Structure 1
Amino acid sequence: LRVLQRHYPQLMEVMRFQITSRREFERLRACDPATLTDLERAARFLYLQRLAFGGQLGGVFAVQPGCGPRFSLARIGPLLDAAHARLDGVVFENLPWQEVLARYDGPQALFYLDPPYWGGEDDYGKGLFDRDQFAELAERLGRIEGAFLLSINDRPEIRDLFGAFVIEEVRLTYSVSKSE
């Protein structure tokens, strides 16, 4: 974000002659980002993200016959412009969820909450969200003036904790998986 804010023309110039190739993809994927300048690191990130299967930076080269490459400077410029326009006027907060609810709650508020799933409490970082916070979250959501949408896995424990709210089951199939 910092590079886009301060060095957008220079970033576009760094990527200007970038080609789409498996060899370049593998070279950049193997490259230690710590050895790169901020501009080179941002260009590497965009290149790998656009060309990796599912957008996963550690993923494999995802170019298919009959489809144009997803990395194209002609498309990245408009894509970044669209992201800028969409985010114009958006406020980003970096506060604990309890403070966000307290600060922004009101009759017109709509909160989207995506805590770690039950059983994956450390997925967003060790110690950032423990199992006890699910009960606290349910209790606090029961007191807000606004509305909320919560994404969470369907477990009996979750249904017990959030049973006072309307629960809509949504089935989905993950098309991209992270192998470890």
Structure 2
Amino acid sequence: MLNPPINRMGGKSRLRKRIINMMPEHTCYVEPFFGAGWTFFGKEKSEVEVINDVDKELINLFRMLKEHPEEVERVLKYEIIARDSFKEYKEMNIEHMTEIKRAVRYLYLINSSFAAKGGSFGYGALKKPNQKIFNQDFEKLRDRLKNTYVENKSAFEIIEKYDRPGTLFFCDPPYLGTTSYQDEFTLEDHIILRDILSNIQGKFILTINDHERIRELYKDFYIEEVQVMYSISREKEARKGYGELIIRNYENTEENRKKDNKLL
């Protein structure tokens, strides 16, 4: 089980074992909202795999890790976590950068920023700097990605393009009612997503925040409520559990339910 090279807001590090255990048999595995890829990097390879995200810099990172991991590693080899370096990377004009340098920039900014948002330099007196840019096994990441289609399109288009009876979609869209995402995903977008998923030939697993409107949208599907602990805040008292929903268009098997119970 690999860990992804970055963290992202809403990443599925704490839920991925449960999600993987409830996956049905499938030929093609698709993540229309890839993010950090916690679930993808945690599961066994499927015969066909597709990762997609609308964030061009994120997808460029994974494309470079697939095609040029040794060069990404070489550029990062002598990097340090420094506020001045963070500022320099942040102010770079990406239009004048190579794809490899853009990938390094993105990797550095996400892993050196507060809450992995790439906005402000992350620091703390009681913890060491994030070690992800120093402790990557780029060859293993490359091997995991080498037979994967890497897409940069809308999630709606990807679902329609790859939908087949043997396809499993893992959908982790931006949460409803939050403002922490770079790319806006409105209630109308959630309704469109629900409508598309309601008519697919394949199967889907969707994870989302526990919201009254989401429960209403997916009332005709299988819904499980789980509690997840997030700890992005600097204030200890602000770190607490949040309700999330795991929604499917198929019934979980008895075997998978037993696996899930072991994770409780």
- TM-score norm. by structure 1 comes to 0.69
Bigger Rg over Cα: 1
Q: Percent sequence identity over matched residues?
A: 28
Any residues of structure 2 matched to 1:5-154 within 5 Å, and which? Answer: 11-18=72-79, 20=80, 25-31=82-88, 32-34=91-93, 38=98, 42-52=103-113, 55-57=116-118, 58-61=120-123, 70=131, 75-76=135-136, 78=137, 80-120=138-178, 123-126=181-184, 129-154=185-210
Paired with 2:93 and 2:82, the residues of 1 have a C-alpha distance of 17
Change (3 A) 1:107 1:121: farther
* Structure whose residues are more often helix by fraction: 1
CA displacement at 1:33 relative to structure 2: 2.0
CA displacement at 1:42 relative to structure 2: 4.7
Segment drifting more, 100-109 vs 2-11: 2-11
Paired with 1:117 and 1:68, the residues of 2 have a C-alpha distance of 28
Amino acid at match of 2:122: V
CA displacement at 1:138 relative to structure 2: 2.1
Unaligned runs of 5+ in 1: none
- TM-score norm. by structure 2 comes to 0.50
Change (3 A) 1:12 1:166: closer
Paired with 1:160 and 1:47, the residues of 2 have a C-alpha distance of 40
Change (3 A) 1:121 1:16: closer
In structure 2, the residue corresponding to 1:150 is in which secondary structure? strand
- CA displacement 1:62-103 (0-9 Å, x = unmatched): 6867x7972675x33x2x212111111111223333322222
Unaligned runs of 5+ in 2: 1-60, 236-264
In structure 2, the residue corresponding to 1:171 is in which secondary structure? strand
Report the number of matched residues.
169
Instruction: Report which structure shows greater RCO (CA 8 Å, sep ≥6).
Output: 2
